[in-house]
Amino acid sequence: MKKRLILASGSPRRQELLNQVGIPFSIRKKKIDESKITIHDPIEKVKQLAILKGKSVPLQHTEVILSADTVVAYNQIIFEKPKNKEEAYEMISRLSGDVHEVFTGILIRSATDENVFVERTRVEFWPLTEKEIERYVTTDEPYDKAGAYGIQSLGAMFVKQIIGDYYNVVGLPISRVVRELLKFEIDVGW
């Protein structure tokens, strides 16, 4: 019997990616206090946040929960969503001309099984001018994204190259997620 997928996230980007590959899902999220997770290691932090989000949502026997969390890390320092223009400017300035990493932690769980994993993608930015950074941080884009940029929108102009899964940087490593969902009897359309 095929199971129903429940996305424990309100992220429009994660919803778009699941829709892009034709996986039906419902959204069921619960407000959680992410500040409970005080870990500074980016890999452990995204794992624990994905677990916290995914286990906060009730689960029925015929359902599979998918939860995720994504962070940007530069020299092992986590860049959260910037709170203001100054923080956004500082983050983009530090990423300019250098390589950083994007980590997404994923929890997939059913009534009988669960799988937690982390996907890592390395991203290199072009060297940016002060004017480029200033123009960017005056837009609305940096403020709801870890690391102050979205690779799928204006932030794309900063990216020189990526090593790894592009969709991981967007917020969900969809090809790996699909393969993992197959193990949980989720109908992925093929």
Residues classed as catalytic: 69
d(CA 9, CA 34): 13
Straight-line distance from the first to the last Cα atom of the chain, in angstroms, rounded to the nearest whole number: 16
The first and second tokens of residue 18, run together, are 């699941």
Q: Which amino acid is at 124?
A: E
d(CA 59, CA 39): 27
Token pair 């969503």 is found at 81
The helix (run of H) or strand (run of E) holding residue 98 is: none
Provide the 10 A C-beta neighbour count for residue 182: 12
d(CA 53, CA 84): 25
d(CA 42, CA 62): 32
Angle at 54 between CA 155 and CA 179, to 5 degrees: 70
